[in-house]
Structure 1
């Protein structure tokens, strides 16, 4: 099985303008496809922007809303899958969500952030209740988390035990927590034997300063590709063969003794 070339779009787009962010996504998808990517991953709240304040209810839409339709058209036009963050409306509730759409424009998975960070998120969003959401793509089992979720080892280990091969983590990582991108994410990939695509926003939005440093980390704990602090599109490979070899050599998951820690929770 050939590696899945995976593009990470590090950008904040234009907060508050869905139309501008869709145009930026279309441009990035064209560049990613030209680089041979089969998957493009965007940051948390990509569709609308993160620091949109009280516009969250106004800009939120259903998982199958017009934004999803537009992303599906972009994915199909450029022949690659797209993972992106957006505010999802479901009845009276709004979730901080991430969705994966394949190269045919089909919606494969929708995940709602389970661990909300800070006053802004807790004011506007309802926490999700499904810790593991997965889909099959190009022979890989793809999982979804969002930003703060990956900082809880239980979340990533739950994905490992459910067989996730590549974990997509749209994020809005801000100063001064850049150690998460620099150190924690590669360690998570190593200890749970998977690839992690951690894709951040960049620059200033309102009171937030996003640190960039998006990365694709491998199951050996090394970073396959890393963005800097500004807007950037970087590409790395998710290699099924290397993942299988790494899992065979690394005993963490085999050597667990869950009977010793049944009260974790």
Structure 2
């Protein structure tokens, strides 16, 4: 599977312009691929009280616009956005197929910092997956991936590619640099970690988006500027790595009861 990692912050509060950025990137990934955009990409992250105004239902107008982009370019798209459901607003990520079908919607379960806890309701479903061209794709958002139990749950549920839209800030760049390849290796899956860049309000985003393979090797890695990375997810490499690595088979769950 051809995978595009869109490291971009778009324009804060400008949904139409951000949809334009998404469309341009989708055209560059190529038909049959998957494009991943960062956390809260459609609206911007540091939008404060505008979250209530800009939040939409999972099947709202913006989802329809993303579906049109996906169909036009034949590219599946995973993107972050603020989701409204009744009186609650969630920090969400949605996966739409190249045929425009809404395949999965994930609500961030671990909210980071006062800003997120003030404006969002935490999600309650840890593992959200969809099938895409024979690959089991799992969704997660930023801080969620820093909890090893979360990623292990995906590994045990059969996730092949864990897609993580992110808004990682200074000084936590070690997550992208060190933690993500380790998460991929210890759980024997691919991890696509796609970050914002630049400054928004009080937040300084560090970029460093990465696709890490099950061998713990970064297949591609961004710098600190806006860019589109393109790399491949190889099922053959995944199968060979899983056959050679005994982590999941050698687990002793009976010893881990204290974790829950």
Q: Name the CA distance, whole Å, in 2 between partners of 1:222 and 1:236.
A: 13
- Mapped contact 1:6–1:37 kept (Cα < 8 A): no
Match of 1:153 in 2: 148
Matches within 5 A, 1:30-179: 30-33=27-30, 38-179=33-174
> Matched residue of 1:169: which SS?
strand
**Aligned pair count?**
260
Q: Name the CA distance, whole Å, in 2 between partners of 1:32 and 1:120.
A: 33
CA RMSD of aligned residues (A): 0.7
> Matched residue of 2:241: which SS?
helix
Residues 88 and 115 of structure 1, relative CA distance in 2, 3 Å threshold: same
Which structure 1 residue ranges, 4+ long, deviate > 3 Å from structure 2? none
Match of 1:21 in 2: 18
Structure 2 portions without partners, runs of 5+: none
Tell whether 2:247 aligns with 1:240: no
- Mapped contact 2:2–2:29 kept (Cα < 8 A): no
- Mapped contact 1:7–1:37 kept (Cα < 8 A): no
Match of 2:9 in 1: 12
For residues 218-257 of structure 1, the C-alpha deviation after alignment (integer angstroms, 9 at most, x for no partner) is: 0000000111100000011100011011000000000000
Match of 1:185 in 2: 180
Q: TM-score, normalised by structure 2?
A: 0.99
TM-superposed deviation, 1:263: 2.4
TM-superposed deviation, 1:30: 1.0
Q: TM-score, normalised by structure 1?
A: 0.97
Matches within 5 A, 1:183-262: 183-262=178-257
- Mapped contact 1:37–1:235 kept (Cα < 8 A): no
TM-superposed deviation, 1:47: 0.7
Structure 1 portions without partners, runs of 5+: none
TM-superposed deviation, 1:31: 1.4
> Matched residue of 1:184: which SS?
helix
> Matched residue of 2:259: which SS?
coil
